[in-house]
Amino acid sequence: MSDIPVEAAGKPDDVRRALALLNAAGARIGNTLDLETTARELLDVAVPQFCDLASVDLYQVVLIGDEPPAAGANEGTGELRRVAFASSVSDAPLPLPSDAGHADAGPVSVGSAHCYAADSAGAEALRTGRVQRVTGRDYGSVPVQFGAVVQSTLAVPMVARERVLGLAHFSRAKGSGPFGERDAALAAELAARAAVFLDNARLYRREHERALILQRSLLPPGNPEAAGLDIACRYLPGNPATEVGGDWFDVIELPGHRTALVVGDVMGRGLRAAVAMGELRTAVRTLALLDTEPAEVLGALDEIAQGLGAAPSDSRRRRARWQHSNSADDLAEVYLATCAYAVYDPVTRRCTFANAGHLPPVLLEPDADDPDAGALLLEVPKGVPLGVGGEPFEQVEVELPDGALFALYTDGLVESRDHPLDEGLNALRRALARPPKALEDVADRVLGELDVHHGEDDIALLVARVHGLPAGSVGDWYLEPEPQSVARARDMAVEQLAGWGLNELADTTELLVSELVTNALRHGEGEIRLRLLLDRTLVCEVWDSGLVQPRRRRARATDEGGRGLQLVQLLSQAWGSRRTPHGKTVWFEMALPDGDSKPKDPTEALLSLF
């Protein structure tokens, strides 16, 4: 039913034409959630069936998704932007009405910003929320290229949910009948219908922008640095017509110059998926810094994912729904995510992969005998997505020679409606074959050769090239569990630092090595291993077979001991401990001298403990 009043309906033929126009509006307006497209759809209905020229102006705040002014609570002089124009007499831009307050009101093209003067009909329509009629003598002539003169114009406010989104102008040139009362009512009805769809598009744009801002704020800035790895990252959001997805990637520095690389994808779209992505990314970083095995990280992450957005009692229902249904609709009801997690050790040049329902990593090894050898999909047990629960995760360890290249990615890179998954994976393997020397060029080449412009889904890509730590950057010694080993450890550490030209760090490192080796003798078990690693920082590790993790405590003034770990914390940049397959490792990290700052004085640090 139309909202046009009966007294404004006119003759039966006019009523039929009005209803036909409204039917066309119902079918053709609001087919997308895009502001500009919706505005053009309105004009496609109005021109030439209702008028000869038309334009739509929207408040600038509407275009960025913010709340527009309330009807009757604004002056009508705020800045608007022309988002659509249509004409059956010319393609020239429709000029501002002559009462807009401009001495020389030139044409306003699509995309241009402008304001209406306070005493203009446009401002009056925006201010009151009522249609304003402007006669030809008040409006002025259309530029010569129109070939006609506007004789009647309706300035129609676009109001939805009691807020004014903007203004629509409908104009008739001479030769067409002037607008009457029923035309004004019909124009108001057309504008009101379009305004509802425009407001829906505004709300969608606001949520889309917020989700995109949230998602981008959680991604690593630029290309992260890592010991023994060159890394290039790319993230491409889906087009504005699709909701933001939950794709993410991360690069996490771990003790011992190791690096964790993560790529994940939350199933679902919109702000909810972006928030879930943020929660999972934070959880991954926390679990990674606990320094557990990749399979254990995914297991703990799975438990966390089961609780996202649901009560704890829902976990069993989620699991049952996954196990008893293969329907995509059923899967959409549960809160799932896929994730690939890898940890690379630049000393051993080994990388451990674990997978939770994600696409397999792609590996390209350097082959001097066959430089045309293609990239391979790594056989990593796929596992179930995070949030399903009830299934253990497995991991595989792969030795990567220097120069090897591997890629982690999300499904938007290799799958779309036009390209099945197998085709996309083969295209990715071909794009990685014979890669350029610069890793940034590798990432650009992948995006250039694959179909990444479909806009159906977000795309995350992480490419890493392995070069490991040189043998000369590693000092590694084994010590017997005897008191004399403390002195030997100090001597070997000082000698190694001298060989690296790091004499400035010798005193501090000697003291801290002595503390950690002494603790390993007193509280650990078995053979002791001392390792020094040099990259962007200096890392010292002391290994033993004991399982008890060290714990820093605050010593009292009368205690004779208990200050060793406090001293390690005071003098190092960072310190910690982690489990190993055969015991534990306690480590500390020192910043390299930069010439501007000096390392802390060990004597002053020791005195500060008393």
**Contact, 80 vs 69, CB < 8 A?**
no
- Assigned token pair, 222: 């630029």
pLDDT at 418: 78
Q: What is the pLDDT of residue 6?
A: 42
The confidence score (pLDDT) of residue 310 equals 56
Q: pLDDT tens for residues 142-173? A: 443 343 567 889 999 999 988 999 999 999 88
Q: Average of pLDDT values for 447-465? A: 83
Burial (0-12, 13-18, 19+ Cβ within 10 Å), 514: middle
Mean pLDDT of the chain: 82
359: which DSSP letter?
Answer: P
pLDDT number for residue 268: 76
Q: Is the pLDDT assigned to residue 555 strictly greater than 70?
A: no
- For residue range 109-128, list pLDDT tens digits in order: 888 999 988 888 889 999 99
Question: How many Cβ atoms are within 10 Å of 323's Cβ, its own excluded?
Answer: 12
Give pLDDT tens digits for 503-525.
999 999 999 999 999 999 988 89
Q: Does the pLDDT value for residue 320 go beyond 90?
A: no
More confident residue, 160 or 610: 160
Same fold? 218-466, 471-608:
no
Is 218-466 in CATH node 3.60.40.10? Answer: yes
- State the Cα–Cα distance between residues 151 and 137, nearest whole angstrom: 7
Q: Please report the pLDDT score of residue 15 as a whole number.
A: 81
419 touches 451 (CB < 8 A): yes
Q: Is the pLDDT of residue 464 over 80?
A: yes
CA-CA distance, 180 to 124, in Å (whole number)? 19
Other residues' Cβ atoms within 10 Å of the Cβ of residue 546? 17
561 vs 47: CA distance, rounded Å:
89
Lowest average pLDDT, out of 155-159, 222-226, 372-376, 526-530, goes to: 372-376
501 Ramachandran zone, left/alpha/beta (phi>0; psi -120 to 50): left
The residues spanned by each domain of the chain are 6-208, 218-466, 471-608
Task: Classify 471-608 by CATH class.
Answer: alpha beta
Supply the CATH classification number for the domain 6-208: 3.30.450.40
Question: Which tens digits make up the pLDDT trace of 79-96?
Answer: 999 999 998 886 656 655
Per-residue pLDDT at 108 exceeds 70: yes
Is the pLDDT confidence value at 319 over 70? no
Encoded tokens for 158: 């676009």
d(CA 202, CA 58): 11
What 3-state class would DSSP assign to 319? helix
Question: Who's near 501: CB < 8 A, 6+ residues apart?
Answer: none
Look at residue 257 in the predicted model and tell me its pLDDT. 92
Provide the edge-to-edge strand list for the sheet that holds 337-345.
246-254, 258-266, 337-345, 350-356, 395-399
pLDDT confidence of residue 562: 56
pLDDT given for residue 596 in this prediction: 65
Stretch 460-473: mean pLDDT? 92
Is the pLDDT at 8 greater than 60, yes or no? no
Work out the percent of the chain whose per-residue pLDDT is above 70. 80
- The sign of the dihedral angle between the CA atoms of 521, 592, 348, 477 is negative
CA angle 518, 523, 525 (to 5 degrees): 100
For residue 218, the 8-state DSSP code is T
Q: Helix 35-46 and helix 181-217: axis angle, to 10°?
A: 160
Model pLDDT, residue 174: 77
d(CA 378, CA 361): 6
Strand partners of residue 532 = 475, 540
Kindly tell me if the per-residue pLDDT of 252 is higher than 90.
Answer: yes
Q: Can you tell me whether residue 496 is helix, strand or coil?
A: helix
Cβ-proximal residues to 28 (8 Å cutoff; 6+ apart), any chain: 41, 44, 45
